[in-house]
Each structure stands twice: as C-alpha cells, then as structure tokens.
Amino acid sequence: SKLVMGAICDGMALLTPDIDGHGAVAIVDEDFVGAIALEAATAIDEIIEVLITKLQLVVTA
C-alpha cells in the first residue's frame, strides 16, 4: 500500500496517522501503529510504500 507522509522516517519505522491522516513515526508506548514503512521518507508529503497493520503495543517494565 502507499501512504502520504507527514514527516520523515526510516525504513521499517512504525507509523501512526497524524491529525491530517498522513503518516507519522509512532511513539510505541503511546500510539496506535497502523503501518510499517517499507522504505524511508526523506521529505514531508512524500508517498512511500507501507505494510498496513493494526497494532496497539504495550510496554511493560
């Protein structure tokens, strides 16, 4: 699948939607993860290939 990015990211980054519905790097202990970047985004509004997923990560001590 393709995703318009609202921020830059590395390949394999966990992504969550921003307020505009564009991809943003997820804070894994706080955010829903909706996609995994299959390539890096080097600019805002860049369209990248992603793997759509549905993850709610829980971090425990």
Model confidence over 25-61: pLDDT tens digits?
998 777 789 999 999 999 999 999 999 998 877 767 6
CA 57 to chain centre: 13
> What is the pTM (predicted TM-score) of this model?
0.86
Domain boundaries, the chain: 2-56
Distances, alpha carbon 5 to alpha carbons 29, 58, 59, in Å: 21, 24, 26
Instruction: Give, as one character, the DSSP assignment of residue 21.
Output: S
Structure confidence at residue 29 (pLDDT):
75
